[in-house]
Structure 1
Amino acid sequence: MVPGGARGPMLRCGLPLASGAAQEPPGAGCSQNTNGSCEECLKNVSCLWCNANNACLDYPVRKILLPGSLCKLSSARWGVCWVNFEALIIAMLVLGGTVLLGITVCCCCCCRWKRSQKPDKGEERAMREQEERRVRQEERRAEMKSRHDEIRKKYGLFKEQNPCAKF
């Protein structure tokens, strides 16, 4: 049986093509727009327009940057005709760097804010020691007061709070 036989042209997954759509061999779409316009070439997202020689080329997807033999970066257009490929790469790098820098600054600020919310171990220890000293000082004061009161009673120097309290 011939692929696509009586049922019409079929895609690789077995679904029929939309009516009116012609199946093109790979790479034929870009080369047929050579010496045409940039807008016509870039309608196909897999195509690249080279301003130097007015050629519509297949974008080499296996390479990140275009080889110089294919087209210079300053003459290449991809996606839109008004931005050259070199400027597009620089803009994307600046945008990506800005986003990464922003994320880093946000993370640092969040970590610093969390660190300032809870006291560190040194501050906790100093506060604990200060509280212990205050408690010991209060105990010594109470002890000294009771001792002084005993001595006053012993020698009859104890002053009553209110002299009329006897009556």
Structure 2
Amino acid sequence: MASLSMKPPHTLTMLFAAFVLIVSIASFGECQTPTAPPPPCSSYSSCDTCVPHAKCLWCFATNNCTDYPVTWLFPPASVCKLADARWGVCWLNFEALVITLGVLGGVIVLAIVSCCCYCCCCKSSHSRLDREDEQYARRREESRQRSEERKTDRKARHDEIRRKYGLMGDPDHPYSKFENE
């Protein structure tokens, strides 16, 4: 049977992938429509329309919307005082927002540090308890061995005394018949 193409199958796959890539790039360029730039922050006239935009900052002292100074973490006093600045929501001033986030961050860091310290202390106390249990078991085993040695020594002494006085259970001993009855 004759094949549809004289080229190896992996070459056809590569050509198909290249074709799909070229078509998708060409269609991507055609589908993009230029978007209008967002209006400047100064065009917003109220706090409710200004603060939803992350790049805008509302100042109650001057009642205007300004660009958030991205070069600074906190807006400088020349732009607006922290107590009068609103960013994100109108009901929370920037000063309270910064204090709240600082406290929450501190609490989270403190919780993480205390959890780490607790885990380290518990681990060391567990290892200490394990060491104490091991020492206790070793002492108990040594005590048991000493007890066995004493018992063996005592039995050897008693056997020696029995042999000395002839109480070992010899069958030709005159009293052995009384022990068996």
Output the TM-score relative to the length of structure 2: 0.66
What do residues 123-149 of structure 1 show as CA deviations (whole Å, max 9, x unaligned)? 534542342233123212222222222
* 1:90 aligned partner: 99
- Matched residue SS, 2:40: helix
SS at the partner of 1:62? coil
Cα contact 2:52–2:89 (8 A) shared by 1? no
Unaligned runs of 5+ in 2: 1-28, 170-176
- CA deviations on 1:12-53 (whole Å, 9 max, x unpaired) are xx67347xx5224xxx521222xx110111131110111111
1:79 is paired with a residue whose SS is coil
Is 1:54 aligned to residue 63 of structure 2?
Answer: yes
What is aligned with 1:148?
158
Structure number, greater radius of gyration? 2
Instruction: Check if 1:23 corresponds to 2:6.
Output: no
Structure 1 runs of 4+ aligned residues shifted over 6 Å read: none
The residue number in structure 2 matching 1:8 is: none
Taking only the aligned residue pairs, the percentage that are identical comes to 49
The 1:164/1:104 distance shift into structure 2, 3 A limit, reads: farther
Residue 102 (structure 1) shift: 1.9
Give 1:134's aligned amino acid.
R
Take 1:158 and 1:109, find their aligned partners in 2: how far apart are those partners? Answer: 67
Residues 63-105 of structure 1: per-residue CA shift (max 9 Å, x gap)? 1122111111111100000000010011111111111222223
Match of 2:81 among 63, 68, 72: 72
* Partner residue, 1:111: 120
Structure 2 counterpart of 1:63, which letter?
A: W
| Matched residues, number | 145
Amino acid at match of 1:137: S
The answer on whether the counterparts of 2:57 and 2:85 sit within 8 Å (CA) in structure 1 is yes
Q: Distance in 2 between matches of 1:89 and 1:111?
A: 33
Q: Distance in 2 between matches of 1:88 and 1:30?
A: 21
Gaps of 5+ in 1: 1-13
Hey, what's the Cα distance between the residues in 2 that align with 1:135 and 1:64? 74
TM-score (norm 1): 0.71
Task: Tell me the distance in 2 between the aligned counterparts of 1:138 and 1:44.
Answer: 86
Q: Aligned partner of 1:107: which letter?
A: C
Indicate the RMSD between aligned Cα atoms, in angstroms.
2.9
Q: Which has the higher helix share?
A: 2
Which residue identity is paired with 1:29?
A: P
